[in-house]
Amino acid sequence: MNHPYSKETSNHMNHPLLSISKEVQAAIIQQKPIVALESTIISHGMPYPQNVEMAQATEQIIRDHGAVPATIAIMNGQFKIGLEEEDLEILATAKNVVKVSRRDLAEVIANKKLGATTVATTMIGAHLAGIKVFVTGGIGGVHRGYNDHLDVSADLEELAQTPVTVVCAGAKAILDLPRTLEYLETKGVPVTGYQTDFLPAFYSSTSPYRLTSRADSAEEIAQRMIAADQLDLQGGLLVANPIPKEYEIPNEEINAIIDQALAEEKKAGVHGKESTPFLLAKIVELTQGRSLETNIQLVYNNAKLGAEIAVHYQANN
């Protein structure tokens, strides 16, 4: 008898903690390329209504480039893989959305709370659903002043252990970029510059920090994913895709603003999981919205590349 999908695929679909949308279910059955998207960027990363507009437009870019988007969140005690329009609206507006990293995951699922997934937990959900490519804006990392407060995002540990390719625009200069790279090196996570030899710095297309890995096409990245699968390496691959120059805020300009945001964070006594959302909102305020436009554009740019990688990966697998 001919099965329309493999045993492994049907296991993903039958997992009791996954609620997979019709569009994503169809994509799994037809073995179409799928790209995961996170929801913390919607609930905690951007203001309303730009957050929901960004989320919808990002999904559309992925469809236009031949893949199926799967935005991930936690609803009704399950990972929801693929959100309906009304789900996006709820995540974009509700005040009680929990920012869920690995630490919080089991509790938020068991207590059936509304949760937005970070890079770490989106990777976990994507992996459970058998999705190999995930597009975001920027990852968490080693925070500045690490010696005083040991703030290292759980995103880095997840990249070390979960085999999902994460497409980002690098890490923001609110973080300690050299230490973030060192940490990833220790954990064996490849950081591949897309058409660049230097780590992109989110708002800025480049930074002084040289990478050891570069790829010039989506196909090359897909080939490396396949090699990593064959080696059973487990950890993820981080693709750092520079924001197009026309939308960037150059380092010299954004660094002064970041310093001010960090000073205000210190004064306000903000730390832990509140840190990243506080700094993002403060930078939007200090740039009078310019950083928000930059943030949205870099996500769109990542969506295009992520879809291309997923298409090549699927074609070769």
153 part of the interface to ligand PSU, by CB under 6 A: yes
Nearest by Cα to 283 from 269, 268, 262, 300: 262
Q: CB under 6 A: which stretch of 15-23, 132-140, 206-214, 234-242 binds ligand PSU?
A: 132-140
- In the complex with ligand PSU, the residue whose CB is nearer, 54 or 67, is 54
CA distance 299 to 217: 18
104 part of the interface to Mn ion, by CB under 5 A: no
Q: CB under 5 A: which stretch of 54-62, 152-160, 197-205, 213-221 binds Mn ion?
A: 152-160
- In the complex with ligand PSU, the residue whose CB is nearer, 15 or 271, is 271
151 part of the interface to Mn ion, by CB under 5 A: yes
Q: CB under 6 A: which stretch of 107-115, 150-158, 213-221, 258-266 binds ligand PSU?
A: 150-158
Q: Is residue 104 a known part of a binding site?
A: no
DSSP β-bridge partners for residue 74: 79, 115
Q: Which of 13, 57, 154, 270 binds ligand PSU (CB under 6 A)?
A: 154
Q: Is residue 99 a known part of a binding site?
A: yes
276 part of the interface to ligand PSU, by CB under 6 A: yes
Residue 304 contact among ligand PSU, Mn ion, none, beta carbon within 5 to 8 Å by kind: none
280 part of the interface to ligand PSU, by CB under 6 A: yes
Q: Is residue 154 a known part of a binding site?
A: yes
Q: Which is catalytic among the residues 59, 80, 132, 172? A: 172
Q: What is the DSSP string of the chain?
A: ---SS-HHHHHHHH-TTEEE-HHHHHHHHTT--EEEE-SHHHHTSS-TTHHHHHHHHHHHHHHHTT-EEEEEEEETTEEEES--HHHHHHHHH-S--EEE-GGGHHHHHHTT--EEE-HHHHHHHHHHTT--EEE-S----BBTTHHHH--B-HHHHHHHHS--EEEESB--TTB-HHHHHHHHHHTT--EEEES-SB--BTTBS--S-B-SEEESSHHHHHHHHHHHHHHT--S-EEEE-PPPGGG---HHHHHHHHHHHHHHHHHHT--GGGHHHHHHHHHHHHTTTHHHHHHHHHHHHHHHHHHHHHHHHHHT-
- Residues numbered 235-264 forming contacts with ligand PSU, rule: CB under 6 A: none
291 part of the interface to ligand PSU, by CB under 6 A: no
**177-216 mask for ligand PSU (x: CB under 6 A)?**
----------------------------------------
User: What's the closest the beta carbon of residue 73 comes to ligand PSU, in angstroms?
Assistant: 11
Q: Is residue 151 a known part of a binding site?
A: yes
58 part of the interface to ligand PSU, by CB under 6 A: no
Judge whether 38 counts as a catalytic residue: yes
Q: Is residue 94 a known part of a binding site?
A: no
Residue 86 carries which side chain, given as an amino acid letter? Answer: E
Residues that bind Mn ion (CB under 5 A): 151, 153
Residue ranges for the known binding site for Mn(2+) are: 151
